Chain A
Amino acid sequence: MTNSTLDAPPARVPAELTPQRGRWQRLRPFLPLVALVVLVILPYSTISLPGIFEGPVNSPGTLQLLAICLIFGGLAAGYDLLFGRTGMLSFGHALYFAAGVYGTDVLVTRAGLPLWQAALLTITGGTILAALLGAVALRTVGIAFAMVTLAFAQVGAILVARDFGGLTGGEEGLPLDVSGLPAGLVGVTNTVNLYWLALAYLTLVVFVVHRVSGSPTGRVLAGLRDDERRIGVLGLDPYRYKLVAFTLAGGLASTGGVVYVLIVGGASPHITSSELTLSLLVMVVLGGPGTRWGPVLGGVLYMYLDHRLTAFGTSDAVDNLPAVLSRPLSQPLFVLGTVFILAVYFFPGGLTSLAPRLSHLTRALRPQRTPPG
C-alpha cells in the first residue's frame, strides 16, 4: 500500500472505506486474532478489576461469568444468521439451545452415556429438530413465522416444565451428574477449561457464520433478506435456502447448549422460556444485526449486564435511592428493556454503528488539516 492511496481526500470515498489512520488500517484484519489471543491467555492474569468483576480475572467465579458471556456471544452470532443475515424473525431459537442443554443433561444424567456420545447425539438431534420444525414454520413468512416459531418453542417449555416421564426434573431443573464426565471438565479448579471450551464455541460459531455469509449461499441469504421475490425470480428456491439457514442456526444453538450445561452444571427451566429468545433478539439488535462483530458484542455485553445489574440492583448505592427509582433499577430486565427501546430509536444499527457515527462527529469537529507527507 503506497502513501498516495492513504492520503486520498476522504470526502470522495464512502465512510466505511475511508482510511482513518494508516497504521490502524493495516492492523485491522489482525484485530480479531489479537482479541482471540488476549482471550485465550486471559485466565493466566491475576488482575483484579474492582467494579467490573467481583474477584480477580482468574478466579472461578469471574471465569464462569466470562464463559457464559462468550456462550451467549456465540448464540447471538448464530441467531444473527437468521435475523440479521436472512431477515427471518424467529422467536423460537431458545428451543434449540434448550434442546442442547436438556439433551446432554438427560443423556448423561439419566441414561449414563459418556459425554462425547451424549453431545454428539444431542447436536444431531437438535439439528434434526430444527430441520423438522423449520420445514413446517417456513410455510409462513414474516410475522406469522415469528408467532409459529414462538409456539413451537412454547412446547419445549411445557415439556420441560411439566416433567413428562420424570426426565427433566420440572421446575426444579436437572443438575448434571458429573461422575461420568472427563475429570478436566469437573470441579471449580477446572473452570478455566470450561472457559476455553466456551471460547472455542464462540470461535466456531463466528467462523461458520462468516464462512456461510461469505459464500454464494450467504449472498442468496442476503438477497432473501432484501427481497425474497427477486430470489424466486432468479430461479432459486427461497424455502430451501431459508431451511438450510434455520437448520444450521439450530445446530449451532444446540452445540452452545452442550457447552452451557457443562459450565452451569445443570439445566433449569428458565432457559426454555420465550424470554430467552427475546433476549437473543435484544442482543443482536443492541450489537448491530448483520454485522461481523455486532451480535457477538451484543451477546457478551447483554449477559454481562444481566448478571452485573442484579448485583448493582441490590447494592447500597441503589438501595439508598428513593423507592420510585431503586425498585425498577433492581430489575435487570427493566434496565435492559429500556436501553433496548432507546437503542431501537437512536442507534438503529446497534453498537457497531456507533463507531462510524462517532468518527463522523469527530471528523466534523476536528479542524481541517492538510495530510502530512
Chain B
Amino acid sequence: MLVNDPAAAHFEIDPDRVDLVEEFRRNPKGPHSDTLRKVLHRMRWSGEGGRFVLVTVEPGRRWVLGRLPERRGDPVELFRNQTFDNPAEAEWHVFKLRWQAITGRAIEADSVSGS
C-alpha cells in the first residue's frame, strides 16, 4: 500500500529570504525560481496550518477562502468575509498565512486587495 505522506515535504524555509516573498508577491502564478518552487512545494504538499482552498461563489468571478476539514466527512470551513475576485490575490493571501505558520514570522507587507 503506497501512500502520499504529507509530512514528506521537509524543505526548510529560511524566514530571512524576503526576496522569495517578494518574488511570489509579484508573480503568484510563476514561473518561479528554483528556491521559490521548493518553498511552494513545502507549503502545498504539507498543508501546514490547514489546507486552505478557494470555494467558487460565482464561476470565474468570485471566490471565498475556505479550509479543508481535518477529519474526512466534516464540512469545508468557509471564511465568508474573505472573498477574492482574482485567484492570484488569494494565492498571495494564503502564502502569507503559510509563511507565518511554517516560519513563525509574519509577512508585514500587505497588498491584498480582496475584500
Is the pairing of A and B real? no
Chain B residues near A (Cβ < 8 Å)? none
